[in-house]
Amino acid sequence: MVRRTRRDPRHDILFEPLRIGPKVLRNRFYQVPHCSGLGDVKPFSQAEHRGVKAEGGWAAVSTEYAPVSLESDESPWISARLWDAEDAANLGLMAERAHEFGSLAAIELHHSGAHCYGGEARAWTLAPSQLASDLNAHIVPKAMEQADITRVKAEWVRAARAARDVGFDIIYVYGGHSYLPMQFLSPFYNHREDSYGGSFVNRARFWLELLEDVRNAVGDDCALACRVAVAALGPAGVELDEGLQLVQAADDLVDLWDLTIGSINDWSKDSGASRFFKEGYQLEWTGQVRQATTRPIVGVGRLTSPDLMAEIVRTGAFDLIGAARPSIADPFLPNKIEEGRYDEIRECIGCNVCVMKSEQLHHIGCTQNATAGEEYRRGWHPERFSRAANADLDVLVLGGGPAGMECAITLAKRQMRRVHLVEAAAELGGCMSWIPRLPGLGEWARVVNWRVVQLDRLANVEVIRSVRLTASQVREYGAELVVLATGSRWSSDGLSAATHAPIPGALDHRERVLVPEDVMVSGRRPAGERVLVYDAEGYFVAAGVAELLAIEGYDVELVTCLEQVAPLCDETLEGPMLRQRLHDCGVKLRRGVTLSSIGPEGALGEDEFGEPLSFAVDGVVLVTQRRSDDALYRELEADWGALRDEGVVGLYRVGDCVAPRIPADAIFDGHRLGREIDSADPSVPLPYLRERISLLPGSPALTPAARG
């Protein structure tokens, strides 16, 4: 049952309808285009992912970028291609799903210009001038001739008509993020000397002609949206003055302005991680566009606060609250605000794992919302949970970290009789009790905060803190099902991917050798000023510890055996800024170095060419590999007879207790076990629907009904 309370009257403005061209939005919540790894390749997943957001109250939901022709082939990246009628039919499923819930469907028609990778089509790419792509430096485009310009505009019009015909309500001319229309506008890309180059009027010509052609083709039936990065904050685009000029020049051709900042080569400024950007940060630039337009504006900035949203609309800076990441973290955010269920809002933490999952792994995922991307293939809904077939059983969950909390919540929502969550520490959170204390990661505390509130609201959950159970106590507890979520710890001996062996001397000098838990939980610090932080993992922990110690006044050198410092942070759009911040903090960075020993005077190692190195330091922090804290599980699992004698019928483990992974995957694992607790063997994930061509006779159709 949905708990309804009174909505704050200050937020009423967010639920006023708004007309954009021939269409009307039912409220002021707009899911802007964002990548998902689904595109046209997984049409049912695409439809369900966006459809759940429509159900959750977003007045409009959009595809990711949708290339209009093979000359804009984005592969190996996944896009929502609209090259032909089959693509249109696939994407039309999304429009149908959005309409079921009274939402409008938008499609972000696109051409990458110089940045096209063309991995599948193998066609040349097109650009205003023959200048190598600053995103993919090995790609040199063809300088567009008049015939190319005419053809691209015609392909855009064809795609717009096809999108209209399968039900899309809002058609984009996407030029933001330094794609083709912006390449014509920007002097960085446009070195032409004809009527499409030189002056602002000439450089804007292609974009304006394109808008006019698309408007003439579908403007009576669809709203025309234009997405523009009004300030590139770098060379790859235009700055605010010319961004405002474009808005003024095109205002009578556009029904909705969708505003961003940055460029595709500097995407980190648009999808800004919380480590570097506060909520609403884009308003510094996009908030100035109102002076240039009379048309509705949608803008973004990782907005999750209803108070800030209402203030933005009230002041007229934006007419619509745009969201990508917040809509992934909580697809039901609009409904929860409308119904006054503020404490149920699952706020985005700004970790950008959604970017990593969509771009690098080709299937969207989210730290906060384990159901993101699983709506079709696993049939998971973020707000609906079926009663488990074995709901008459009691469950004991040991470990109140991210995976344990998520598992307990999911089990409780599946109506298990009683769920006891037992945590050895005084507070819930596990590793997430100290990770948010690393510099810049404060908003990651939302992972714990939201789950603590939900656990408190669930009547069939009891949370027990400051209790560490032994194996005999677990057996005698009285629960029929036992789930171990005891996490992992960083290896104190320096075991790592580089050598698959401990570092000699690491355990012999424990007074000088620390791991992250020593620094962040126990409060230990190196004995002297000189510190070496050794990273063999490549994500956020080593860099965060190094920055923290540098802020505290230590002389820090971050050494990694990897080819780059914190390479996984490149996948979350944090890497370059993180390395710059470390540099600014005085942290020395050294890549491609493997430590070979640790002694009383420091550490020895060798570089990527085998040359010996020595480090005269007073302390070493090893961030090499985590090991599962699974001793209790193994002790229990070794004596199934004793478990059965006490009535235990199921023993499982989740999260890092199985295998250490990033927080998003640990949370997913806890959620998965809760969803599948009544399967034949919950320890083994159930198969999921894959969207593929099957040549087997009698293969079931890929329809939502096939989910069973």
Domains of the chain: 9-360 (3.20.20.70), 394-482+629-675 (3.40.50.720), 490-627 (3.50.50.60)
pTM of the model: 0.96
User: What size, in residues, is the chain?
Assistant: 708
pLDDT tens for each residue of 540-585: 999 999 999 999 999 999 999 999 999 999 999 999 999 999 999 9
Q: What is the per-residue pLDDT for 695?
A: 82
* Cα angle 304, 44, 60; round to 5: 35
Is 179 an active-site residue? yes
Q: Band the pLDDT of 706: cuts 50, 70, 90.
A: very low
Which one-letter amino acid corresponds to residue 631?
A: A
Residue 422 backbone class (left: φ over 0; alpha: ψ -120 to 50; beta: rest): beta
For residue 62, the cross-strand partners are: 106
pLDDT tens for each residue of 87-114: 999 999 999 999 999 999 999 999 999 9
Q: Band the pLDDT of 321: cuts 50, 70, 90.
A: very high
- Which of 525, 547, 491, 500 is closest to 660 using CA atoms? 491
Contacts of 702 (CB under 8 A, 6+ apart): 44, 689, 691, 692
- Which of 247, 295, 298 is closest to 106 using CA atoms? 298
- Which of 182, 192, 188, 176 is closest to 143 using CA atoms? 192
In 3-state terms, what secondary structure has residue 603?
A: strand
SS (H, E, C) 300-356: CCCCCCHHHHHHHHHHCCCCEEEECHHHHHCCCHHHHHHCCCHHHCCCCCCCCHHHH
Q: Band the pLDDT of 705: cuts 50, 70, 90.
A: very low
pLDDT tens for each residue of 390-427: 999 999 999 999 999 999 999 999 999 999 999 999 99
pLDDT tens for each residue of 127-184: 999 999 999 899 999 999 999 999 999 999 999 999 999 999 999 999 989 999 999 9
Note whether 403 and 481 are within 8 A (CB).
Answer: no
What whole-number distance in Å separates Cα of residue 684 and Cα of residue 672?
A: 10
Q: Band the pLDDT of 266: cuts 50, 70, 90.
A: confident
pLDDT tens for each residue of 480-521: 999 999 999 999 999 999 999 999 999 999 899 999 999 999
pLDDT tens for each residue of 44-92: 999 999 999 999 999 999 999 999 999 999 999 999 999 999 999 999 9
Q: What is the per-residue pLDDT for 5?
A: 73
* pLDDT at 704 > cutoff 80: no
Q: Which of 172, 179, 196, 539 is catalytic?
A: 179
* pLDDT at 700 > cutoff 90: no
